[in-house]
Amino acid sequence: MVITSRAPVRVDFAGAWTDVNIFARGAGGAVVNATIDKYVHGRLEVFETPDTGIAPDEGIRVTYWCDLPSGSGLGTSAALNVCWLSLIQSQVNPDLKQKERIADLAYKLEEILGILGGKQDQYAAAVGGFSYLTFHEEVEVERLPIAPGMLAELEQRLVLCYTGKSRLSSNIHEEVWDAFRRGVPATVNALYDLRNCAVRMRTVIKKEDVEEFGELIGQSWRHQKALAESVTNEQIENLFDIASRAGARHGKACGAGGGGCLLFFAEPGRKASVSEALERAGVRVIPFRFEFEGLQVSMGDRQSEAGNPASAAGS
């Protein structure tokens, strides 16, 4: 028997950092994000050796591979945990609430391992699509319907690139949350401002206002940089300058920042020029489309399964 699973990664538009319990349990956090057609894939095979006259041996083989490098700032680690838990469960009820339970378990697993981070990645990977997530003691998921015209324009204007530098978000988290606990005004104010950007972006998506959507991406980046010096660096600032000269109107680092992926919002008709300028600067531009399925699990027999995880690992 073969069980296959895939969970998408996400791009975060506004509110990142406010999904961490240190802030969310007291102040309440909010995030707007969306999943894209890049995935963590998993495959679980249950097998037994041929009967040789003694009891056959049974075993389980689990394989994972990802469309993107780890440390990309797109939630690959959380997506892997969502994928792994779905395989262990062996079959996932397609009901949304069942997917949310998988997301919660994935976060609790990271918490047990002592990983300091938020909850947006796990829920995005599980439920898929555009989401407005609010965080207190529990997580509330609001699926955001997006008009076809706005969806098409966002895909025509957003540019995602990988800096080539994997970042350790735990190091940045420690710096930010140490400042928050000490009550550093710039850090505290930035967290509230980030949350407010997410609250506003929810409304902007419902209004189908693409231009303000882009402006909120830019505002989020300004507030994110105010959290701590390590959120940005010379390479990131240089890439922002290059993208801006080529036609990017706004942009932000994905996830915690410090490396990984950057997301740019280009002027109308300038996506290609922004992409080309970034590629000339030596970074990898990642073509993508939004996806709306979230976690997907399927079951079958080994003979009917096609595909080779080893070959897919390099995709």
β-partners of residue 41 are: 6, 65
* Catalytic residue (choose from 12, 121, 241, 301): 121
Whole-Å CA distances, 234 to 123, 160, 163, 231, 296: 32, 19, 12, 11, 39
Block residue for tokens 């003694």: 54
Residue 281: what are its φ and ψ, rounded to 5°?
A: -80, 0
Residue 164: what are its φ and ψ, rounded to 5°?
A: 90, -5
- Could you confirm whether 121 is annotated as catalytic? yes
Please count the residues of the chain: 315
Structure tokens at 265: 């919002």
Q: Is 86 left (phi over 0), alpha (psi -120 to 50) or beta?
A: alpha
Give the Cα separation of 104 and 101 in Å (integer). 5
In 3D space, the residue among 282, 226, 221 whose CA is nearest the CA of residue 255 turns out to be 221
Contact call for residues 3 and 85 (beta carbons, < 8 A): no
What is the DSSP code (8-state) at residue 184?
-
Structure tokens at 19: 């999904």
Give the Cα separation of 291 and 18 in Å (integer). 24
In 3D space, the residue among 280, 285, 283, 248 whose CA is nearest the CA of residue 264 turns out to be 248
Give the Cα separation of 43 and 3 in Å (integer). 6
Within 10 A of 74 (CB to CB), how many other CB atoms are there?
34
State the catalytic residues. 121
